[in-house]
Structure 1
């Protein structure tokens, strides 16, 4: 091997090995030879020999000398001359690693796409203006919001404005954001818009293409292949891409001259990385707004407690529709009680019925030639029972649990139904009598989209049925009579900017009664997402919800007061001292792992440890956790008062590094401010 000569200028490179190992998450010094010197600049990928093996690394800085007393190894090679880890991204990763108690290379894995050599040969030099022609954007929709015009003026003027944008019912959020992003781009600035899923990416891309050329929109979505993803990342890196849209990982896109960052529906689970350290895209963008001095929009029809905290702290401000605009756009919303309408089947008579308000609303919309949306919280079949006389829920005489028909769970027909069985204790009740009225008659209350479709088909025998949910999500339906049955998040839009004539929100209690801290917040978000697809009440649009009108969350929906709902939710979190009113970490693992971790963690003052307790329902450890070997997984919650966000994260990172250094193999997962606490 030819002798290598150290670089004449700054012959030492401090690099970060991309190993994902907590105790090795620090800089290591390597020598740079003269041939590598020009390319081995801060931010580039290099190959190093580490512990006898070749590994990838990022150059953090070039130095004149090293504190290491031994002989330095040379860099093996420079993988690419592109500085894919620029200074702003480095600062962002450092901040997030401290926030989440994370290993930097785990965050870098999510932030920077894998290299694809062919992508580096693409045209990255053509300026954005020459990629196509942009038309003048129409920003008039922002005037329907209080302080909307002044917000837009501040953003376009290069100032910093941060807003919690409550999108009015029926308003086209994608068109409004597209217009603002296009105007910023025409003026020479960059915009970054992050949405929960590919459907939203497609909707936003269509809106942008009405204003700018296809090549002037850079999409980083789930459907983007490896080569295209890396090429588009480079396009943003070199300043060619001015409008970047995408799903959660797009939040890291190195947009040059970033003037506006946007996150839509920040309460959506899809915005949380499913790999450690489980970073939330909202945290990425709020951190970028603070570090890079760009404006920020947190947009949605509803509002999370986290966004409300930003408003109440003064860091962001309300951007809400005016009273006149809201009144003109929202549908009439009527609660009819948890059992106020049901698609039900009388078990003795075999008849199907849809009760008054729901049937009448659906019938009116269909008669006007409009589709009707039916939101059902779950797919498939899941019948429960109610009294056939008074419609009170049928309860187990032993434990008071709800009675169901387990034998009918896969769509059995009349005559095949099993005996009423408690869904809690499993006891059979062959001699049911209603505790309210004494009637022995039972009605099967439809739960599940497939069962709902069957029963609605009987109630409206001549009407087309459309189903959307699970693996078969329909993007849009024509504006003609149909019953559209969809699970939350899978509701089709009506073609050509149309609206549903009515929406029936079934099984509201199913969403509200989940064992989750965010159950109420998420239920309201799902109802609002469906209601906003309905025509204004001035055009006959109406929403019927099967929920008790005395519930505060139902009144927030009826009055479309999402700010009050978020304010109440945050107040409730403060009362029980849960996020975002406090900082909290969930540490999951075997008993022995938790005990050791908590014993070595030097937690901040006033830290409080809750548990350990069993994992919440539906929560599992990643990978193949061997319960026979390690015992049932447990969860410990560490709670600290609000303050510098890095204090708890730093303590967790140090303790995790100590575990890593002693090669502790017991499984352990750490999540800071997890979206689901239990």
Structure 2
């Protein structure tokens, strides 16, 4: 097996009395192991699928998130597809050679001139440098084309590019932009929807060096790109970047670890800015890429319609209306020039019902579950047991009337269709998500994350029920609300208008009006620093059955600077332990938790879930 057993290949080894899968990481003529060595059982495949860079990265990620390296390897290397492995990969493109410039590509390169230090960033990439930047995109800009221009500049320097985005819709947009900027057959896409054969074929094209530009979702962060020069993460605040499987790594952190280890350029971009991304700039690890204030003012005008903006003299009941008159006027005016996007936080029809007289939440008489409406033609029914609530009466006041305090996109589209009867109304949410809409007058009602792209941009964007996003019981409620609003407003055409219905005094809405995401992120960072919350601290949770958590607390040997909070109830028959330490000592906490996991595994104790820097507490 000497010829086939090269670093990176899959092997079978004898461990704990059974044959298990593994990867050959290194060959050496001596070892520091004091026990007896066991020979390999066999080489599964001579294909080196684990590059030295990715092998080192998996070790870093496992240590960072107090996990098991095998779990990280499962995320990094897709399952083998033997038939695909026997097929040759396409020819490798020549270093620094991309397709001839097109008008579209020239425009995207010029688009970076709209940002302070944007041309310098692009020039540094083309010269083989490794700049690092946190990029706040201006409304109306074609961000996939700008990412493709940065990728093209990096490819001309003879290096590879790795782009990670939240979902398949964004992958499709960047895929098209890369095709226009680099030419055909110059890059690959990595998504979970590709299927095992195609995904493994594209993975092999990357590991063999046949393709050096990759765009994909979170698993693509481990792609073995040869001569990597630039890593890009788009919209890093999206929770889709958080891996739901152990050890729960985040795409942003994986790419930043990779940029630091391999000494490559990094670009963290989005219409909004996460607090973690803002934390990269004060120390000089990354620099800001923002548009000048004059350009932002001309790109979009954002207004807020609050309770004081209702014309109570003309409409004495207007203060209770969901859509104020200003929004109707904006939609009516914008429909003369193009489509209008209306973002509503909830999908469905009427997701919650209450008594029309006393506002008491309507409950099912059978199981006390909440009542809801699924369509205008069906009776109210329980969301838990699906029992129809025919002849419902309020238990408090006896009234039979119902009202809907929370409306979904279907009901919103229905109301707007009645208000604008000659206008086409589309909805995009849930399992029915539109990718694009034509540049014709229409109203598009979408939930956050499901907003389709309009050809030429939207003439106006309306944000309804902003209080619902801000009212979430979550540390990141305001940050997440601003991110979702900004992603919608970012789809407006240059010079377009946007209006949000909410409290004009709320800091998140004020940041949206000013398009000052950096200032809002700094404010959030200061508040979290005072409360000793991430990212200024390293925080970890240990969750499991009470006995298992108690065992973990007994075996844990935290450093002196680690604060132990709990345990507290965390659900049915579960408890949670919270560990907190200053960011400078975060590595010590991760190592202590890693030692805990190894001790538990050796003693075969009950399982617990360990999460480092969880997205939600």
User: TM-score, length-normalised on structure 2?
Assistant: 0.89
Q: Which residue of 2 aligns with 1:311?
A: 281
Give 1:127 deviation, angstroms.
Answer: 2.0
Report the secondary structure of 1:154's partner residue.
Answer: helix
Aligned partners of 1:127 and 1:240 also within 8 Å: yes
Structure 1 residues 415, 107: CA separation in 2 closer, same or farther (over 3 Å shift)?
Answer: closer
Query: 2:566 matched to 1:573?
Result: no
Report the secondary structure of 2:26's partner residue.
Answer: strand
Structure 1 residues 352, 260: CA separation in 2 closer, same or farther (over 3 Å shift)?
Answer: closer
Aligned partners of 2:278 and 2:521 also within 8 Å: yes
Aligned partners of 2:306 and 2:502 also within 8 Å: yes
Structure 1 residues 483, 445: CA separation in 2 closer, same or farther (over 3 Å shift)?
Answer: farther
Which residue of the other structure, out of 522, 526, 534, is the alignment partner of 2:484?
526
Report the secondary structure of 2:11's partner residue.
Answer: strand
CA deviations over 1:591-611 (Å, ceiling 9, x no partner) = 111111011111122111122
CA deviations over 1:338-397 (Å, ceiling 9, x no partner) = 69689xxx9x9xx9985311111111112x142111111111122567999xxxxx7669
Give 1:581 deviation, angstroms.
Answer: 1.0
Return 209-218 or 60-69, whichever deviates more: 60-69
Structure 2 residue ranges without an equivalent (≥5): 362-368, 383-392
Q: Which residue of 2 aligns with 1:290?
A: 260
Report the secondary structure of 1:587's partner residue.
Answer: strand
Q: Which residue of 1 aligns with 2:189?
A: 219
Query: 2:404 matched to 1:430?
Result: no
Report the secondary structure of 1:223's partner residue.
Answer: helix
Q: Which residue of 1 aligns with 2:447?
A: 487
Q: Which residue of 2 aligns with 1:500?
A: 458
Q: 2-side partners of 1:213 and 1:414: how far apart? A: 52
Aligned partners of 1:100 and 1:279 also within 8 Å: yes
Aligned partners of 1:585 and 1:638 also within 8 Å: yes
Give 1:118 deviation, angstroms.
Answer: 2.4
Query: 2:574 matched to 1:633?
Result: yes
Structure 1 residues 635, 338: CA separation in 2 closer, same or farther (over 3 Å shift)?
Answer: farther
Give 1:649 deviation, angstroms.
Answer: 1.1
Report the secondary structure of 2:557's partner residue.
Answer: coil
Within a 5 Å distance, the mapping from 1:36-115 to structure 2 comes to 36-66=1-31, 72-115=37-80
Aligned partners of 2:128 and 2:157 also within 8 Å: no
Q: 2-side partners of 1:431 and 1:557: how far apart? A: 44
Structure 1 residues 339, 50: CA separation in 2 closer, same or farther (over 3 Å shift)?
Answer: farther
Q: Which residue of 2 aligns with 1:23?
A: none
Structure 1 residues 416, 652: CA separation in 2 closer, same or farther (over 3 Å shift)?
Answer: closer
Which residue of the other structure, out of 588, 592, 604, is the alignment partner of 2:547?
592
Q: Which residue of 2 aligns with 1:377?
A: 345
Q: Which residue of 1 aligns with 2:557?
A: 602
Q: 2-side partners of 1:415 and 1:224: how far apart? A: 41
Q: 2-side partners of 1:208 and 1:575: how far apart? A: 43
Report the secondary structure of 2:27's partner residue.
Answer: strand
Q: 1-side partners of 2:252 and 2:213: how far apart? A: 18
Q: 2-side partners of 1:353 and 1:461: how far apart? A: 19
Q: 2-side partners of 1:317 and 1:69: how far apart? A: 48
Aligned partners of 1:586 and 1:637 also within 8 Å: yes
Q: Which residue of 2 aligns with 1:410?
A: 374
Larger Rg: 1
Give 1:471 deviation, angstroms.
Answer: 0.6
Q: Which residue of 2 aligns with 1:334?
A: 303
Structure 1 residues 341, 237: CA separation in 2 closer, same or farther (over 3 Å shift)?
Answer: farther
Give 1:117 deviation, angstroms.
Answer: 1.9
Q: 1-side partners of 2:251 and 2:376: how far apart? A: 43
CA deviations over 1:47-68 (Å, ceiling 9, x no partner) = 1222222111111222334566
Aligned partners of 1:102 and 1:653 also within 8 Å: yes
Structure 1 residues 88, 415: CA separation in 2 closer, same or farther (over 3 Å shift)?
Answer: closer
Structure 1 residues 67, 574: CA separation in 2 closer, same or farther (over 3 Å shift)?
Answer: closer
Q: 2-side partners of 1:406 and 1:107: how far apart? A: 41
Report the secondary structure of 1:327's partner residue.
Answer: helix
CA deviations over 1:577-627 (Å, ceiling 9, x no partner) = 111110000111111111110111111221111222233xxxx7xxxxxx5
Report the secondary structure of 2:584's partner residue.
Answer: coil
Report the secondary structure of 1:529's partner residue.
Answer: helix
Q: 1-side partners of 2:591 and 2:452: how far apart? A: 44
Query: 2:169 matched to 1:199?
Result: yes
Q: Which residue of 1 aligns with 2:422?
A: 462
Q: 1-side partners of 2:492 and 2:352: how far apart? A: 28
Within a 5 Å distance, the mapping from 1:135-146 to structure 2 comes to 135-136=100-101, 137-138=105-106, 139-146=109-116
Report the secondary structure of 2:279's partner residue.
Answer: helix
Query: 2:590 matched to 1:673?
Result: no
RMSD between superposed Cα atoms in Å: 3.0
**Number of residue pairs matched?**
589
CA deviations over 1:91-142 (Å, ceiling 9, x no partner) = 2111111111111010000001111222323333622149996122421111
CA deviations over 1:6-48 (Å, ceiling 9, x no partner) = xxxxxxxxxxxxxxxxxxxxxxxxxxxxxx0111122211012
Structure 1 residues 395, 536: CA separation in 2 closer, same or farther (over 3 Å shift)?
Answer: farther
Q: Which residue of 1 aligns with 2:475?
A: 517
Return 321-330 or 512-521, whichever deviates more: 321-330
Aligned partners of 1:339 and 1:546 also within 8 Å: no
Q: Which residue of 2 aligns with 1:236?
A: 206
Give 1:493 deviation, angstroms.
Answer: 0.8
Q: Which residue of 1 aligns with 2:131?
A: 161
Q: Which residue of 1 aligns with 2:328?
A: 359
Aligned partners of 2:9 and 2:50 also within 8 Å: yes
Structure 1 residues 446, 46: CA separation in 2 closer, same or farther (over 3 Å shift)?
Answer: closer
Q: 1-side partners of 2:566 and 2:344: how far apart? A: 35
Q: Which residue of 1 aligns with 2:411?
A: 451
Structure 1 residues 76, 414: CA separation in 2 closer, same or farther (over 3 Å shift)?
Answer: closer
Structure 1 residues 336, 61: CA separation in 2 closer, same or farther (over 3 Å shift)?
Answer: same
CA deviations over 1:513-562 (Å, ceiling 9, x no partner) = 1011111000000001111112344xxx3222111101111110011111
